[in-house]
Amino acid sequence: MEVFDMREFDGHELVIFGHDAQSRLRAIIAIHSTVLGPAAGGCRIWPYATTTEAVADVLRLSRSMSYKNAMAGLPFGGGKAVIIGDARTVKTPELFAAFGRMVDSLRGRYVTAEDVGTTTADMAHVARVTRYVSGLGRSPGEAGGDPAPKTALGVFLGIQAAVKFRLGRADLAGLTVAVQGAGGVGYHLCGLLSAAGARLKVADVQPRAVERACDEFKAAPVPAVQVLEVEADVLAPCALGAILNTRSIAGLKAPVVAGAANNQLARDADGEALRAAGVLYAPDYVINAGGIISVAREYYGGTEAQVIEDIQGIPARLTEIFERARHENRTTNEIADQMARERLSHGREPRRLVA
C-alpha cells in the first residue's frame, strides 16, 4: 500500500497508525490540514475488510472535515480517526484508553469526538487520558454532549432550504422524504421531519431502527436495497458514504438529495451525473456541519444557544452554493469544494508530513 499514491491522498499533513496488543486497538488517525486550527473530526469504528480500505476511508473523511470546518467558519482544521473492528465486540474501556493515548501523543494537533460506532460514553473513556476530545456530557445550557441531534437539526434546516430552491415550497408538509439510515442522526432527523408534516419512508440494515421510526413517526418501511429508488420528494442519505454513483443515480426518483452521510458521492464526477439528471444535491459536508459546530463550541467554550444560532447559518450557505451552481452552470459539489479551498488558502501554509 503506497499511501502517497492513493487517489484519496490529498496532501495530508500526517497519517499515523496505532496498535495496542492488550486492548486489540488497531487505529489510524489522518490529519488533512491544520491551516485553520487543530484538526478535528470524530472517531469511527468499522469492520474494514482490509487496512487499505480503512486508510482510504480515513483519508476521504479527514479531507471532508477540512472542508466542513472551513465552510462552517470554525477554528478547526480537518482530521479523522478510524478503529478497525466491529463496534459490537471490540469496544472496551481499555481500547478507548489506548486510543486516547494515541490522540494525546499528537499534543493537540488532532481533537477527537464520537462518530459511527462510538458514543459519548466511549469518549468519556478517551477523556480520562487526554484533554483533546469533545462530544462529552454537559451541564444544562452548556454546549456539548451527543452531536447527533445537532447534526440532524442542520440537515433538517438544509432540507428546507433545498426544497425551497428546487421545489419552490416554503414548508415540508405533505412532502415525502426517504431516509436511508435511522440510527443516531437519522432517527433525530425523522423526528424533526415528522413534526414538520413530512411523510417518511425509512430504511436501515437494522430492523429495530426501522420499527422504531415506524412506531414513533408513522414512517413506511422500505427495504434497504431499494431505498435509493423509491418515489420521494427528498432522499436523505444518513448511513455510510459512496452511495451515489453512475448506477444508483440512474435509478433515483427524488429531485433533491440532502442528508447527513459523509462522502455521499462515490467520485467527484458523480456530481455532474446528478446535475444532468436534474437532481439538486446538498453537499454533505455543508449540510451535516451541525455536529462539528456543537463540538467546536464545547471544545472552545460556549452555550447551547450559541450552537443553535451557529447551525441556523447552514441554510444560507447551501442557498449560496445552489445559486452559484445554477448561475455558473456547474455542480454544487464543485462550487462547495472551490469555496472551501479558497477559505483554506487564506490560512497559513501547513506542514506536510506522513509518518
Other beta carbons within 10 angstroms of residue 327's beta carbon come to: 9
Question: E strands along the chain, which residues?
Answer: 14-20, 25-33, 39-40, 43-46, 77-84, 110-111, 176-180, 199-203, 220-221, 234-237, 256-257, 280-281
Q: How confident is the model at residue 346 (pLDDT cuts 50, 70, 90)?
A: confident
Q: What percent of the chain has a predicted confidence (pLDDT) above 90?
A: 89
Looking at domain 3-67+75-127, its CATH superfamily turns out to be Leucine Dehydrogenase, chain A, domain 1 (3.40.50.10860)
Count CA within 13 A, CB hemisphere, residue 62.
33
Active site residues: 80
* Residues in the chain, overall count: 355
pLDDT at site 353: 31
φ, ψ for residue 27, nearest 5 deg: -135, 155
C-alpha cell at 318: 447551501
User: How far is Cα 240 from Cα 164, in angstroms, rounded to an integer?
Assistant: 26
Question: Which residue do the cell numbers 415525502 mark?
Answer: 176
pLDDT at site 347: 67
pLDDT, average across residues 168-173: 96
Question: Of the given ranges (41-50, 208-217, 341-350), which has the lowest mean pLDDT?
Answer: 341-350
pLDDT at site 306: 95
Q: How confident is the model at residue 324 (pLDDT cuts 50, 70, 90)?
A: very high
Other beta carbons within 10 angstroms of residue 207's beta carbon come to: 10
Count CA within 13 A, CB hemisphere, residue 317.
29
pLDDT, average across residues 93-119: 96
Topology agreement, domain 3-67+75-127 and domain 148-337: yes
pLDDT at 350 over 50: no
pTM: 0.92
pLDDT at site 137: 76
pLDDT at 151 over 80: yes
Q: Tell me how far CA of residue 246 lies from CA of 72, 230, 233, 235, 242, in angstroms.
A: 29, 17, 20, 16, 11
* CATH code given to domain 148-337: 3.40.50.720
Q: How confident is the model at residue 354 (pLDDT cuts 50, 70, 90)?
A: very low
Domain positions in the chain: 3-67+75-127, 148-337
